[in-house]
Amino acid sequence: MVAPTGAIAVANMPQSARDEANGHATYRFDPTPATASYLVAFAVGPFDVHEGPTSPVPVRVITTRGRGAMGATAATIAGEHLAILGGYFDRPYPYPKLDLVAVPDFLPGAMENPGLITFRDVLLLLDPSRSTNRARTNIAGIIAHELAHQWFGNLVTMAWWDDLWLNEGFATWMSTRVIDAWQPALGARVDAVSGHAGARRVDALATAHAIRQPVRTTSEAMESFDSTTYAKGAAVIGMLEQWLGADAFRDGIRQYLRAHEWGNATAADLLSALSAAAHREVAPVAESFLDQAGVPLIDVALDCEGARPALTLRQRRFRLTGESSGEQSWRVPVCARYPDGDRTRTQCTVMERPEARVELETSRCPAWVHPNANVGGYYYYRLPRALLRQLWTVPDALDPAARLDLLSNLEDLVAAGDLPADDWLDALERLAQDPSPHVQERVVGSLYAVERTLVDHAHRPGFERWALRILRPMAQRVGWRTHPGDYDTRRDLRRSVLTAMGTLTDDLNTRREAERVATEWLRTLSGGDPEITSVAVPLASRRARAARFEAIVAAIPRAPTPQDRALLISALTTFDDLALVRRAYALALGDSLRQADMRSLFGRFGATPEARDLVSRWVMDHWDALHQRLGRNVRGLVWSVANLCDAEKIREAREFFTPRIATLEGADRSLATAVEAASRCAASRARALAHPPSRFTLPAGVASRAR
């Protein structure tokens, strides 16, 4: 490559020579090993280069000028992750160097080019003194994902795009293992349960697609980059690992990489290697999940009338819309956990048919049964009501990951009309007192789903009063001050609880404290606790007026870090005044924001139904201008339809977008999924409001606003 002498050029492989002449520099690089063409990459610019660790290979972070110091954390993390990955694969990092490049306007997020991984700057750069724990953890997770690709995707490349899950599903699964080995206290494997639950929720829609499916066009390839490929792929990989055993699974992975390095491979090649390592036939189980859409629901009944207690298992396809799904079944590895005297047992089977009967390895009738032990199975479960309630009332019946999975299971069963809403609300009240910060944070997240699907305008005051009873004790425990001894998960919980207090309950004291913190921080854009600032700035916008809006807009160009910039932009959309929110969205049409900023601008969908409805309406009103500004990236805004929860508004949005996305590759499936998700919300709300939960009815004479 030839570049001006003031620039720096980097590529996949190390530089082998550089010559200067006539104001230009000629760069030569070592030859690449066999590499898929979509992974060829280079970067040229007036860069800062942060030199990181030199082992197991030299690691550098490449940034625009003046930002090199913000790459130090990422460089250190990358070096540590490379060592973990090399140990797991029993194969060192395959390339001679690693450059991480922070791109200021890079909408996709990150790309795993061998030796030259590109990142959106906010996902790579941070100032440790000004960053939140969540920002640091997110960066670590993305680095782990992209580095896993260096083996799965680069060293061994899928033969065709129908096996994209070999890249993305595996990297998603592997990143959890890396973070868990890197910092076990973060509880990455517990957090992964939420990703699996999100995949199940999409898979429970009629528009769901199989992980593997024919790819004949560019559009079909683009459509494959979705939660099914990433999150469901990771969940199915995790299920196979649990079924086969961690050691046998790892040995199969190593054998697969050795057999196909520097070449292409298919899913059949991976399943064959796993079968050889585990000494059992893996393909029939794996392919039943890879090659058909949907997620099983397993009905579980306990029979204690015979000589031994037994479980009766029945499976069918689960649909969030609740309609009959016809004949469909999977080969499902099912593990059940239950008490046996003073110990607990875990017993596993593979459901080969729609029904199965499993005699338990005990003579006692168990007081409770958890049908997804270790949360390794990719399925929903439903128990008789009395047994189901035992799971959240019996102490120590479930570990934190299983309690998270239980809450997601309950939420979706209620959405489908398969479970009374009161059971879900009972579980939330009980688990709000759980000692695990992961479980408490999941309870907080569930409150948003309750508000969206079970609450109308008339019952909102009652909901606020109920939510305040749950949130206030949590808020009192975590407080508004972080302390040196706070562990990372407690910091994340504080952020979630305080945000919910200011969003779902409109608590006066929360709003006052948020205003105090935000006013001081906006004055200098420095100082203060970044964890608290990240909560306060959006909350303080809610009741603020135009002067605050203008102050935030003026602060965006002065943001010291990428995270500060993202915080300021997202805070513009949290105003209760919808006229100000429209002004915020209008910034998408000008030059003051980059394309990469659109994720911050459209990432929050408002604290009220009115604000959430506004997003898709504004996008429709300005579609042509947005298309001109964003090009094909405008397809991401189609997802705003999923924010709706009203049948008539959903119909209007579908009719508007359908003809306009015809030429946008990868947008058809996004629209169909968004419309169905919104329709599911509308159906759930209609069902719930026919019999609103008694918790949300205020007693006579009680004030209508929570304080």
Question: What pLDDT score was predicted for residue 488?
Answer: 80
Look-up of token digits 């305008």:
457
Question: What pLDDT score was predicted for residue 279?
Answer: 97
Q: Give the confidence band of 628 by pLDDT, cuts at 50, 70, 90.
A: very high
Percent of the chain with pLDDT over 90: 84
Residue type, 636: G
Kindly state the average pLDDT of the residues 364-368: 95
Give yes or no for a contact between 370 and 401, defined as CB atoms under 8 angstroms apart. no
Q: Residues 562-571: pLDDT tens digits?
A: 999 999 999 9
- To the question of pTM greater than 0.85 for the whole model, the response is yes
Question: What pLDDT score was predicted for residue 706?
Answer: 43
Alpha carbon distance 450, 493 (integer Å)? 19
Question: What pLDDT score was predicted for residue 485?
Answer: 67
Kindly state the average pLDDT of the residues 364-372: 96
Q: How many beta carbons lie within 10 A of that of residue 550, not counting itself?
A: 12
Percent of the chain with pLDDT over 70: 97
Q: Residues 258-297: pLDDT tens digits?
A: 999 999 999 999 999 999 999 999 999 999 999 999 999 9
Alpha-carbon distances, residue 224 vs 228, 288, 693 (angstroms): 8, 19, 39
Which tokens hold the place of 94? 């395959």
Alpha carbon distance 441, 457 (integer Å)? 26
pLDDT of 554 strictly over 80 = yes
Q: Give the confidence band of 690 by pLDDT, cuts at 50, 70, 90.
A: confident
Contacts of 580 (CB under 8 A, 6+ apart): 546, 549, 572
Which tokens hold the place of 391? 């799971």
pLDDT of 453 strictly over 70 = yes
Alpha-carbon distances, residue 25 vs 21, 40, 54 (angstroms): 6, 21, 26
Give yes or no for a contact between 295 and 320, defined as CB atoms under 8 angstroms apart. no
| Concatenated DSSP letters of 137-194 | HHHHHHHHHHHHTTTBTTTEEESSGGGHHHHHHHHHHHHHHHHHHH-GGG-HHHHHHH
Question: What pLDDT score was predicted for residue 483?
Answer: 76
Alpha carbon distance 565, 542 (integer Å)? 19
Of 62, 237, 127, 73, nearest to 564 by C-alpha is 127
Q: Residue 423 in 3-state DSSP?
A: helix
Q: Residues 17-49: pLDDT tens digits?
A: 999 999 999 999 999 999 999 999 999 999 999
Alpha carbon distance 680, 645 (integer Å)? 8
- CA 430-435-437 angle, to 5 degrees, is 105
Alpha carbon distance 546, 553 (integer Å)? 11
Question: What pLDDT score was predicted for residue 487?
Answer: 72
Phi, psi for residue 640 in degrees, rounded to 5:
-60, -25
Alpha-carbon distances, residue 572 vs 402, 496, 545, 586 (angstroms): 37, 19, 11, 11
Question: What pLDDT score was predicted for residue 397?
Answer: 92
| Concatenated DSSP letters of 253-280 | HHHHHHHHTTEEE-HHHHHHHHHHHHTS
Question: What pLDDT score was predicted for residue 692?
Answer: 83
Q: Residues 468-502: pLDDT tens digits?
A: 999 999 999 999 988 776 678 888 999 999 999 99
Kindly state the average pLDDT of the residues 620-631: 96
Question: What pLDDT score was predicted for residue 3?
Answer: 95
Contacts of 424 (CB under 8 A, 6+ apart): 410, 411, 413, 414, 446, 450
Give yes or no for a contact between 301 and 323, defined as CB atoms under 8 angstroms apart. no
pLDDT of 707 strictly over 50 = no
Point out the least confidently predicted range of 319-328, 412-421, 445-454, 605-614. Answer: 319-328
Alpha carbon distance 34, 50 (integer Å)? 28
pLDDT of 509 strictly over 50 = yes
Residue positions counted in the chain: 707
Average pLDDT, the chain: 93
- Angle between helices 437-454 and 400-415 in degrees, nearest 10: 10
Task: Give the β-pairing of 355-359 and 42-45.
Answer: unpaired
Kindly state the average pLDDT of the residues 631-637: 91
Termini Cα distance of the chain = 64
Q: Give the confidence band of 108 by pLDDT, cuts at 50, 70, 90.
A: confident
Kindly state the average pLDDT of the residues 161-182: 97
**Of these residues, 20, 80, 112, 146, which one is catalytic?**
146
Give yes or no for a contact between 705 and 506, defined as CB atoms under 8 angstroms apart. yes
Question: What pLDDT score was predicted for residue 519?
Answer: 96
Which helix (H) or strand (E) segment holds residue 61: the answer is strand 59-64
Task: Clarify whether 168 is annotated catalytic.
Answer: no
Which tokens hold the place of 59? 């690691």
Alpha carbon distance 475, 322 (integer Å)? 36
Q: Which of 144-153, 391-400, 607-616 has the highest mean pLDDT?
A: 144-153
